Amino acid sequence: MPKPIILFADNDADFLRTRAEFLRQEGYHVIEAANSTEARQRLGAGGIDLAILDIRLENEDDERDLSGLWLAKEMAEKVPTIVTSGFMEQMIPMIPKIILTGFPSYENVREALAPRVGGLPAAVDFVAKQEGPEALLAAIRRALSASERRQAEIPVAPAAMMAEVPGIRVQAQRKTWILIGAFASLILGTAMGFGAVVTGNPWLLLGALFFIVLLVVGLVVGTSME
């Protein structure tokens, strides 16, 4: 089983290194980010299973610095999307986030855990640095296990049901488009086949064969889909 990939963003270099090492020893692959720009870039590159975001990602001494919390909110606004490209379907999942801080306050808990767009919160958990590494580890385990359950449920759901899952948008009705393509191939293949018989042009015959193959593939794939 592959190691879960965790993005750990904190501008306190010593703390980041110590905690990241602790998590590596616990079996996680940890990617470190020293500020919000780096964290945003890492998240944009994809492949992250969970993100741990310090609230003050820019300036530890500035109590108005809420950059980690803003990043979590910004990510929460981006709903997970099912992208359809040809015959391939890819789910871009919502990355669970844990907010970490050395300066916990109830206002920040509200910001992190209150439901936002789509009814889901910006973060799944809120951990204070003072609670120690074990509390963070427990939060990671809970978040990853909840995320796995969610992921396992989503791909098997038919598109119509997926559209009702909070925060999920189905971009394309794959099956419909495949069947439309197959129907178009039937018309073009028939027309080219007829042209080949009348004119004896071998290129038209080749074209007709190409569209017949497309038609068969389209029908097989389209009808086998749920």
Partner 1 sequence: MRADPGDGAVEVAFLLIGNREESTWPLALEEAVAPFGRLHVVSEQEALEEAERNRYDVIIVDATVVSEVAPLVARLRARQPEARMVVATLSPTWQRAREAMQAGAFDYIRKSFNKKETRAAIRGLLKRPRPAQPLESTS
Provide the token pair at 208. Answer: 């007709």
CB 96 within 8 A of CB 147: yes
Is residue 172 at the binding interface for partner 1, with CB under 8 A as the rule?
no
Is residue 225 at the binding interface for partner 1, with CB under 8 A as the rule?
no
Is residue 175 at the binding interface for partner 1, with CB under 8 A as the rule?
no
**CA gap 206, 31 in Å, rounded:** 52
Backbone φ, ψ for residue 85 (5° rounding): -140, 110
Is residue 134 at the binding interface for partner 1, with CB under 8 A as the rule?
no
Residues near partner 1 (CB under 8 A), total: 25
Which of 169, 137, 176 has the alpha carbon at shortest distance from 154? Answer: 169
**CA gap 67, 158 in Å, rounded:** 38
Is residue 161 at the binding interface for partner 1, with CB under 8 A as the rule?
no
The per-residue DSSP string of 121-170 comes to BS-SEEEEGGG-HHHHHHHHHHHHHHHHHHHHHTTTS-HHHHTTSTT-EE
Provide the token pair at 178. Answer: 């495949």
Provide the token pair at 13. Answer: 């270099």
Is residue 139 at the binding interface for partner 1, with CB under 8 A as the rule?
yes
Quote the least distance from Cβ 56 to partner 1, whole Å: 15
CB nearer partner 1, residue 157 or residue 214: 157
Site map 89..118 versus partner 1, x via CB under 8 A: ---------------xxx-xxx--xxxxxx
87 DSSP 8-state letter: T
Is residue 136 at the binding interface for partner 1, with CB under 8 A as the rule?
no
CB nearer partner 1, residue 113 or residue 209: 113
Is residue 157 at the binding interface for partner 1, with CB under 8 A as the rule?
no
Is residue 125 at the binding interface for partner 1, with CB under 8 A as the rule?
yes
CB nearer partner 1, residue 114 or residue 220: 114
Contact positions vs partner 1 (CB under 8 A): 104-106, 108-110, 113-121, 124-126, 128, 138-139, 142, 146, 166-167
